[in-house]
Amino acid sequence: GNHQSAAMSGRLPPKRDSVKASRLSTQLQKRRDAARQRQRDARRDLTDHARSLAFGAEDSGSEASATRAVGDQDAMHRSSSNPQELALEHPGTSSTEAWVDVAQMGRESRHERSPRHRRSSSAPGKWSRESVARFSESQFMLPEWMVDVPPDLGHAWFATPRPKGQRVLVISSRGCTVSRLKNGRVLHRFPSALPGGSQRTMHGKAEDSFCILDCVFHQEDGVYYVMDCMAWNGMSMYDCTAEMRLSWLYSKLGDPETAECDAATGTGPNNRYRFAVPPTHNCDASGLRAAYGSPVPFRRDGIQFLAKDGNYELGVTPLAVMWKDPNTSDFFLDENPDGSDTQRVVLSLQSATGDVVTGDPTPIALARLPAHFLESAGRAAESAPAGDDSLGRDGTWRGNGGLRDGLLLRFAVGKSGLQIQDGLPVAADLVYEGIANQRRGGADTMTKILFQYYARREPITIEEIGMAVETQAREAAMAASSGSSASSVSIARSSQSFSGIPNGLFDF
């Protein structure tokens, strides 16, 4: 329909300074430091959460546990202490002390389940309607977008080319394998060679054998590229470091000639789709170059950076970062139906104040809707025809019930852009365009908005990242030779002196 446009009042930003200067920030690194501190100080138990994903979330206790794990924003940032660290060069060496035996913790007796529960949870795809409705993208670890270069990127992070495709959770249990999209709907249901994924790979009791993998389905060749591992053969790995999880993953599914689960790397009657692991590199200069330009058997959709010491967080985490440019992604800029390059954002309404906020665990208010607009929009919504539910089957808002708290609204970013302080947006010139699809998973995060804002003005380039990584390495080497500690290197320092990569390091 026709969407009413209304400029946000009272919070228009002043004239924008240099985009690169706006990336001078201490706040972004503080957020990464705080995430690491939460991992050291807190401990979570996602045993019931893993079981609810594997066995259908039908048990009330499992449902409550999964809801707590996903719904509590603070719990999304709690992680295990004493993480296990393994170098990728030695994928076969591991310690079971870091694992949680899901089968033995919180196991319920089969005799305690009602017949209804047995039927509905007999396979990972047999979920109730309510369970599918609760499933959202917060079941995944959601990376932030690169709006600065971490000062330890060159030695404390991995770089992995991300395949183009649909992101899914692949869950194998009770002789069946199911892949679920971010909205909970089933993409594929099939037999696989993963533990618990077919009748041939069910070992021991059903509760002892299941897997949960974070994957991208590459449509062109029908391959599931496994980006991360949250559970393997009944053992939870949510609270293991990325170094541990990826090392374990490579030992199981990496090289088809040496992988322990080699049957899953091909296709056959008991493994309909092939599983593969994208190449992961230490994010030094050579690793960054390989992640960016080395041949891969799939179409790239950006580069994913993972902090080596980061656990698998539910929801948004600063210890995972996504980056794209036109060479690595067909979707560098968010697409618009009208073909324009106007930036559009989706924000969440706080009905008590009229603020529209980001989708971060600690939301950031970018503007306040004028009181007269809230009143007129509210009256229009309340006068809309009533229905059984305010949300249509396609995710569109039917309008009855007024402008409720948390309603997702769509805006265009106006000519004055964003007001940025210490690297973070504090206000924006926004033009209201309408009510967004309510099933999209949530409002845009702060770093996504910033990344798209920079991408239209002065994007972070691979040369800029490469220069920062090389500078970090040089300073670390100088510090080691002099016995002093290395100083931090920010993207601002790198960009101020950047005039090109020496020796054509990133000259593709």
And the tokens for 279?
């190449």
Alpha helices (runs of H) in 275-426, residue ranges in sequence order: 285-293, 371-382
Largest interatomic CA distance in the chain: 74
pLDDT in tens, 4-29: 444 454 344 433 345 555 555 678 88
Which of residues 361 and 469 earns the better pLDDT score? 469
pTM given for the model: 0.75
String of DSSP letters for 171-189: EEETTEEEEE-TTS-EEEE
Which of residues 168 and 388 earns the better pLDDT score? 168
Which of residues 166 and 2 earns the better pLDDT score? 166
Rounded Cα distance, 158 and 304, in Å: 8
C-alpha distances in angstroms, 152 versus 148, 204, 464, 489, 491? 12, 44, 15, 8, 11
Confidence tier at 30 by pLDDT (50, 70, 90): confident
Could you give the percent of the chain with pLDDT greater than 90? 44
pLDDT in tens, 434-480: 899 887 878 999 999 999 999 999 899 999 999 999 999 999 888 88
Which of residues 315 and 47 earns the better pLDDT score? 315
**Which residues, in sequence order, are bridge partners of residue 1?**
none
